[in-house]
């Protein structure tokens, strides 16, 4: 896969039986180091602020690290619960990600990770979520996506 990539994140967050779709498609960069895939991209929010994000993928887990106005560190590992102190002055886990299912497909033309998880805040279920992260190489000369 090329260093220049197109990152597509699609998901559904269901809260109180009401599904909400989430979609993001941005250019990014890719590298592979020590058996892990790293995808870096910037996300521009409606208020004009920017969050620098890194997705770290391995065969058994996905980490999303955000720095900037929407800082967070989310870990998704099948069958495990990981918390983050996001929004907590004490640093205690306020948000928990309970990962029910995680999969990673590695292909020559790109990567595809899928995760099903529950989001809990202060121990209470907030939503059930599904997220799919697709990473495809971009042709440098044309800027077009390479989809196999």
The residue that leads in pLDDT, 9 or 148, is 9
Q: What is the DSSP string of the chain?
A: --SEEEEEEEEEEEETTEEEEEEEEEEEEEEEETTEEEEEEEEE-TTS-EEEEEEEEETTEEEEEEEETT-EEEEEETT-EEEE-TT-SS----EEEEEEEEEEEEETTEEEEEEEEEEEETTEEEEEEEEEEEEEEB-TTT--B---
pLDDT digits (tens, 9 = 90+) for 1-50: 679 999 999 999 999 999 999 999 999 999 999 999 999 999 887 888 88
pLDDT digits (tens, 9 = 90+) for 91-116: 555 789 999 999 999 988 899 999 99
Per-residue pLDDT at 74:
92
Query: From CA 87, how far away is CA 138, in angstroms rounded?
Result: 36
Helices (H), 9-127: none
Cα distances (angstroms) measured from residue 73 to each of 63, 135, 146: 7, 20, 29
């Amino acid at each position: 896969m090329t260093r220049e990539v197109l990152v597509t994140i699609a998901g559904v967050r269901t809260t109180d039986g009401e599904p909400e779709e989430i979609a993001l498609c941005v250019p990014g960069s890719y590298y592979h180091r020590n058996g892990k895939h790293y995808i870096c991209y910037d996300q521009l929010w409606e208020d004009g602020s920017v969050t620098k994000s890194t997705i770290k993928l391995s065969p058994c887990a996905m980490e999303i690290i955000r720095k900037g106005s929407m800082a967070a560190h989310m870990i998704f590992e099948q069958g495990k619960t990981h918390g983050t102190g996001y929004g907590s002055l004490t640093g205690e886990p306020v948000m928990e990600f309970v990962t029910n299912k995680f999969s990673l497909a590695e292909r020559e033309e790109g990567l595809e990770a899928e995760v099903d998880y529950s989001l809990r805040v202060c121990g209470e279920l907030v939503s059930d979520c599904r997220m799919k992260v697709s990473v495809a190489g971009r042709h440098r000369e044309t800027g077009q996506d390479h989809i196999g």
